[in-house]
Amino acid sequence: MAVPVLLTTASQKKCLNPDARSIEGVSQERNRKLIHVAAAVIEDAKGNVFLAKRPDDKHQGGLWEFPGGKVESGESSETALARELDEEIGIQVVQSEPLIQIPYHYPDKSVFLDVFRVTEFAGKARGREGQEVRWVPISELDSYAFPAANKPILNAVLLPERLLITPSCETALACLQGIETALGKHDLQWVMLRQKQLTATQFARWVVTLQNHKMMQSKLLTLNCSVALANELQAESVHLSSERLMALSHREVFTGRFLGASCHTQEELNQAVALQCDYVTLSPLNNTDTHPGTEPLGWEAAKMMVSETPLPVFLLGGMKAVDLALVRTLGAQGMAAINAWWT
């Protein structure tokens, strides 16, 4: 008989707040022990992800899930993952890496999702328990109904690992050329337009130029501006400065897909979690030319902060392109940088 592991650790603290619960309800849920669950984002070589439908009579029934199940007493998450994937979908894990950890309180249950990316496996994935299963292109994941706790998993899968932030540029043309060079040289998929020296009108003009450029058609463009301006510009992604983040009392109605924010402290990270941001940047990791005189967080503190944040975290500040591997071992989603890629 499987005995699920109940977590009472620091993971309790970083839970995403469930929607529309009374204060009393939330505090009761927060004291509840977390059920430790190992789940897998299984990818094939074509960029498809394997989904299974939860049986109607189970918790979160009828919704699509990343296969997995409860970690049993005495098991590591990796062992539980391997066992569950064999039992549920008949595959044997060959290679996996941690993707993200999410504590979440449902009204009736609290779970701690320990999510791995499985990049290599043996066997043919199938529904061994009669459940409906499907290989789904990553670009179509957003059209599937998942349990509410899964939102950060989707963000972690959909967002690229590397974010290029533009330095302040003299002209829109110089900015375009810089982006083109960096994207071409480093095979980047994600760009944040950050140009603090521009007025909103000038910024909007630069954005339209970028949006219409052929090279940006297949890339994710994030605008570092207000939500109102990003909506006006029909942006797919907006990035809030820490000042804008801390000034918000609730998640503004952003009409695009990804709402991110700059964080430098635990308080700002807490606010990003409370506002249900889709990702955060955490900086400065090291000393940087762009923010001289700012005390860096350092790798140890950053590691702690990442482990307490149930959102995809992109580390930023004085990093080199080769630091990506280290960033991943810390549990962060990836890295954001100007100088590492802008030449």
In the list Mg ion, ligand 8DG, none, the entry touching 150 (Cβ below 5 to 8 angstroms by class) is ligand 8DG
State in angstroms the smallest separation of the CB of 132 from ligand 8DG. 14
Contact flag: residue 33 with ligand 8DG (CB under 6 A): no
Query: In a 3-state reduction of DSSP, which class is residue 309?
Result: coil
Q: Which stretch binds ligand 8DG (CB under 6 A): 23-31, 67-75, 91-99, 324-332?
A: 67-75
Are 107 and 21 in contact, with CB atoms under 8 Å apart? yes
Has 68 been labeled as part of a binding site? yes
Has 59 been labeled as part of a binding site? yes
In the list ligand 8DG, Mg ion, none, the entry touching 312 (Cβ below 5 to 8 angstroms by class) is none
Per the rule left: phi > 0, alpha: psi between -120 and 50, beta: everything else, 187 is left
In the list Mg ion, ligand 8DG, none, the entry touching 83 (Cβ below 5 to 8 angstroms by class) is none
Q: Which amino acid is at 50?
A: F
CA 261 to CA 268: how far, in whole Å?
Answer: 9
Nearest by Cα to 258 from 245, 243, 277, 281: 277
Contact flag: residue 69 with Mg ion (CB under 5 A): yes
Q: Which stretch binds Mg ion (CB under 5 A): 69-77, 103-111, 119-127, 220-228?
A: 69-77
State in angstroms the smallest separation of the CB of 270 from ligand 8DG. 22
State in angstroms the smallest separation of the CB of 156 from Mg ion. 20
Has 296 been labeled as part of a binding site? no
What totals of helices (H) and strands (E) does the chain contain, helices first? 10, 16
Are 128 and 90 in contact, with CB atoms under 8 Å apart? yes
Nearest by Cα to 2 from 89, 77, 71: 71
State in angstroms the smallest separation of the CB of 42 from Mg ion. 13
Q: Which stretch binds ligand 8DG (CB under 6 A): 18-26, 93-101, 107-115, 295-303?
A: 107-115
CA 169 to CA 182: how far, in whole Å?
Answer: 14
Nearest by Cα to 163 from 321, 2, 291: 321
Burial tier of 124 (Cβ tally within 10 Å: 0-12, 13-18, 19+): exposed
Q: According to the 3-state scheme, what is the secondary structure of 118-154?
A: EEEEECCCCCCCCCCEEEEEHHHHHHCCCCHHHHHHH
Question: Binding string, 109-148, against ligand 8DG, x = CB under 6 A?
Answer: x-x-x---------------------------------x-
Q: ∠ CA(263), CA(269), CA(273), 5° rounding? A: 130
Q: Which stretch binds ligand 8DG (CB under 6 A): 61-69, 169-177, 245-253, 312-320?
A: 61-69
State in angstroms the smallest separation of the CB of 39 from Mg ion. 8
Has 132 been labeled as part of a binding site? no
Residue 64 main-chain phi, psi, to 5 deg: -80, 150
Contact flag: residue 310 with ligand 8DG (CB under 6 A): no
Nearest by Cα to 156 from 111, 113, 92, 106: 113
State in angstroms the smallest separation of the CB of 261 from ligand 8DG. 24
* Residues in the annotated binding site: 54, 59, 65-68, 88, 150
List interacting residues with ligand 8DG (CB under 6 A): 2, 37, 39, 58-60, 65-70, 84, 109, 111, 113, 147, 149-150
Which residues in this chain contact Mg ion in the complex, by CB under 5 A? Answer: 69
